[in-house]
Amino acid sequence: MKSNALWRNLSSRQIGPFVIAGPCVMESYELMYETASYIKNLCDRLGLTFVFKSSYDKANRTSIRSFRGPGLQKGLAWLERLKAELKVFTLTDVHSPEEARAAASVVDVLQIPAFLCRQTDLITAAASTGRIINVKKGQFLAPWDMKNVIEKIRSRENEKIILTERGSCFGYNNLVVDMRSITIMKALGFPVVIDATHSVQRPGGLGSCSGGERDFVPVIARAAVAAGADGVFLEVHPKPDEALCDGPNSWYLNRLEGLLKNLKAIYHAVTTGEQ
């Protein structure tokens, strides 16, 4: 199965950091196609495994007036079309057991959002689909507490697990990344990803929406890969300042190549040194 081949790539350390990237939310199919095709071609040239990510519904937006996406039905149809046209792996986040079962019929990776990382029914339902499960570590959770999340997934005989670091609460409207969490979570036995874009977010920092400090994305990504992260999660957009969600912390599509080349070099240095 295609997902099994993907899991072999994600769980090995042979090539370089795998890349989970795309717009925060599905604004249009055209945007999805433009972004996915660009990143796919780039990752193919660099020899990096690519998983396209985007959300059909951002259910935890700050304001009731914020754009959330096209919804489950249209969003999954767009992802299915994208997979057929570009032959890319796909990831999206789910918010309920029902959504997990529906999304599993289309995507390769089901993502558990940080705010929902302790929701047992959601986690076990996602695990039961047999898909790869990527769990964002909640901003409120210690890295060693992810062992309990792993136990929930493994209770459904699913061993295809990814853990993602995305920063921890640091006072109000701010996050900080403790790079020790990369080592701590890797010791749990599964691939660890750094979410370099949400880690520079300022949750609710603009009052009715979140802010962010985009210039620090490469800093966080480089530091985490140097610390041993197996993959990098990046929200990218052709025009971040015009993005309908998470623009302030999204990275520029046309500046992605330099960043990925840098991360691949760091990854190679780290893995070669470990040997």
> Could you read off the pLDDT of 45-99 as tens digits, one per residue?
999 999 999 999 987 766 677 778 899 999 999 999 999 999 999 999 999 999 9
More confident: 85 or 13 = 85
Q: Count how many residues are written for the chain.
A: 275
DSSP state of 239: S
% of the chain exceeding 90 in pLDDT: 78
More confident: 69 or 231 = 231
Residue 75 belongs to a domain with what CATH number? 3.20.20.70
Residue 208 has pLDDT above 80, yes or no: no
% of the chain exceeding 70 in pLDDT: 94
Q: What is the pLDDT of residue 273?
A: 78
Nearest CA-CA partner of 97 in 77, 74, 73, 116: 116
Contacts of 243 (CB under 8 A, 6+ apart): 23, 24, 27, 237, 250
204 pLDDT band, cuts 50/70/90, is low
| Mean predicted confidence (pLDDT) in 155-168 | 97
Q: What is the pLDDT of residue 173?
A: 83
Report the alpha-carbon distance of residue 191 to residue 12 in Å, rounded.
9
237 forms beta bridges with 252
* Mean pLDDT computed over every residue of the chain: 92
Residue 158 has pLDDT above 50, yes or no: yes
Q: What angle do CA 164, 168, 169 make, to 5 degrees?
A: 150
Report the alpha-carbon distance of residue 31 to residue 8 in Å, rounded.
29
Residue 184 has pLDDT above 50, yes or no: yes
Looking at the structure of the chain, the number of domains it has is 1
pLDDT in tens, 28-59: 999 999 999 999 999 999 999 999 999 999 87
Q: Which amino acid is at 229?
A: A
Find how far residue 163's CA is from the centre of its chain: 10
State the helix-helix crossing angle for 97-104 and 120-128, rounded to 10 degrees. 20
Q: What is the dihedral of CA 183, 263, 48, 25, to 10 degrees?
A: 80
| Tokens describing residue 165 | 């670091």
pTM for the model stands at 0.94
Q: Which domain holds residue 33?
A: 2-9+16-274
Q: What is the pLDDT of residue 207?
A: 55
| Tokens describing residue 7 | 């899991």
| Mean predicted confidence (pLDDT) in 263-267 | 97
